[in-house]
Structure 1
């Protein structure tokens, strides 16, 4: 297909996707995969792929803000990446240092109230990168309109392990009772500052795995996952919007299933459960196919019928 025709088709498809999207996930997490393979395909060294990938990162930040995403987490450097050749990592560290300083000074960051935070074992990084992290965090600390998390020296399993060790130490030293351990107890030990539950994970580069990325906040929230084949430097707005559409379909399916379960329960529940089930059906009624949508009068009839058949102790009346 000729280039000009491909560009017109892509633009039309992007416009169609934009019109179809009616909402946005709160927190998107991205595994930026394929920089090195992209560079090799072009006959370049890996650092060139990282540099072009950094340009994609800036565009994705803008796309997220355009549609109303409130938090973006980028899987930038994993603990496994330390095993790569030193020369390659040193050039990547140079790029990170430069980009963190640029982000800390960028007008678009300050104009849009973007708060930059690093997640991971930052102490393992070279001093110049740690100083750049501190600079970007310090310059944006007062903002709360949008959060940009940069996962550096990050490993999800090691984060959970450290949190578990912290809880065990507190129990052993009698600073925490076992029956006091809850979700917040773990989350407080994962990161210094709160991280929202992940709604959507996007992975580029063709691999279909989440690579130990934010397991507590993504798996625990049953996040939608969008895998796509373009390498990170090639990732387009059309690809991004397809990912958002995947999230929307996942959310619609969740609402539809809740409504169906609530309808199924309406025939055999107690007074208190009946009111809750009816509330769920009313909230998610529009997510059901038209043929499955009950009339309001039908819901009232079910409730009245149940009210006649169940006494105040939630047992079937004699």
Structure 2
């Protein structure tokens, strides 16, 4: 009876969250933490936990597509994970090979246009994993409706370091001028194919850190972060929707902050020739509370001293 009641409560809560969510982030990145701890708690071993986590991964992909997420990046294996026992890693590599091929061939992946990519130092992985990666990427190469990035042998700091070295080498070889280096230059060096800025990072398992994950695309975009306690195999749709709600609240706060900063700039300088500040205020006007919108209207009236009620600056009666 208790288990039935708990499932009923969870279903109702999930329904409430679904109705609260009004917009989806474009790119969600997930740190899938807790597989091994889940296995220990349930009396299994590490491979059992990884296999249970793989089932959660499939569900999360479905949830992302349901609400309109366009890109999902999963932190499947970090460079630090090479330090784990060989037998554990070998079992994980076998699972990766199995799931990459299985997933690439799945009807739902083919029908929904899911493009699978691997990011990281793939050359450090065993040959069989590299072959599975190549198969999955080739099988879904023409798919552009949804992007699934699998971070394998990945370390954010090492990727930035390699990009910096590549740019330096290009300058030394005369292929690139220093003044030509910009954001897009670095991004082209980071990955073979474009990766969108990250809007939301989700981490399961209770740790509150982002673990060197996509620093350029997440920190540079001031991504929202959602930490939750369930181990990855236990991660539910309600947990996922709570993460999306965190993103929405973060986005609303960001929009208000941008509008208030632009308002402060306009108010301090009183200069009608501040097109950037004006465009920010106009773009985010609806994000401000009603009282602040009234203050903005008053500010704009003061900036048009020739205006009078009912008469425009040219002396014509208002329509």
Q: Shift of residue 185 of structure 1?
A: 1.1
Segment of structure 1 superposing worse, 11-20 or 281-290: 281-290
Task: Give the distance between the partners of 2:188 and 2:279, measured in 1 at CA.
Answer: 33
Task: Give the distance between the partners of 1:187 and 1:276, measured in 2 at CA.
Answer: 26
Task: Give the distance between the partners of 1:269 and 1:27, measured in 2 at CA.
Answer: 38
Q: What is the match of residue 134 of structure 1?
A: 134
* Structure 2 spans left out of the alignment, 5+ residues: 308-319
Q: Could you state the TM-score of these two structures normalised by the residue count of structure 2?
A: 0.92
Q: What is the match of residue 31 of structure 1?
A: 31
| Alpha-carbon contact 1:17-1:238 (below 8 Å) kept | yes
Segment of structure 1 superposing worse, 259-268 or 143-152: 259-268
Q: What is the match of residue 314 of structure 1?
A: none
| Alpha-carbon contact 1:266-1:302 (below 8 Å) kept | no
Q: What is the match of residue 86 of structure 1?
A: 86
Q: What is the match of residue 312 of structure 1?
A: none
Task: Give the distance between the partners of 2:300 and 2:181, measured in 1 at CA.
Answer: 42
Task: Give the distance between the partners of 2:75 and 2:207, measured in 1 at CA.
Answer: 14
Q: Does 1:272 align with 2:273?
A: yes
Task: Give the distance between the partners of 1:243 and 1:114, measured in 2 at CA.
Answer: 22
Task: Give the distance between the partners of 1:306 and 1:281, measured in 2 at CA.
Answer: 22
Q: Shift of residue 297 of structure 1?
A: 5.3
Matches within 5 A, 1:75-114: 75-114=75-114
Task: Give the distance between the partners of 1:272 and 1:15, measured in 2 at CA.
Answer: 48
Q: What is the match of residue 234 of structure 1?
A: 234
| Alpha-carbon contact 2:199-2:223 (below 8 Å) kept | yes
CA RMSD of aligned residues (A): 1.6
Matches within 5 A, 1:7-86: 7-86=7-86
| Alpha-carbon contact 2:270-2:303 (below 8 Å) kept | no
The DSSP-based 3-state class of the residue aligned with 2:273 is: helix
The DSSP-based 3-state class of the residue aligned with 2:303 is: helix
Q: Shift of residue 305 of structure 1?
A: 3.0
Count matched residues.
Answer: 306
Task: Give the distance between the partners of 1:149 and 1:237, measured in 2 at CA.
Answer: 20
Q: Shift of residue 36 of structure 1?
A: 0.2
- 1:87–1:12 Cα change, 3 Å: same
The DSSP-based 3-state class of the residue aligned with 1:117 is: strand
Q: Shift of residue 102 of structure 1?
A: 0.5
1:81-128: CA deviations, max 9, x gaps?
Answer: 111111111110110000000111000001100000000011111111
| Alpha-carbon contact 2:200-2:225 (below 8 Å) kept | yes
- 1:27–1:303 Cα change, 3 Å: same
Matches within 5 A, 1:157-176: 157-176=157-176
- 1:175–1:222 Cα change, 3 Å: same
Q: Could you state the TM-score of these two structures normalised by the residue count of structure 1?
A: 0.93
* Structure 1 spans left out of the alignment, 5+ residues: 308-318
Q: Shift of residue 300 of structure 1?
A: 4.3
Task: Give the distance between the partners of 1:112 and 1:77, measured in 2 at CA.
Answer: 26
Q: What is the match of residue 222 of structure 1?
A: 222
Q: What is the match of residue 205 of structure 1?
A: 205
Task: Give the distance between the partners of 2:286 and 2:179, measured in 1 at CA.
Answer: 41
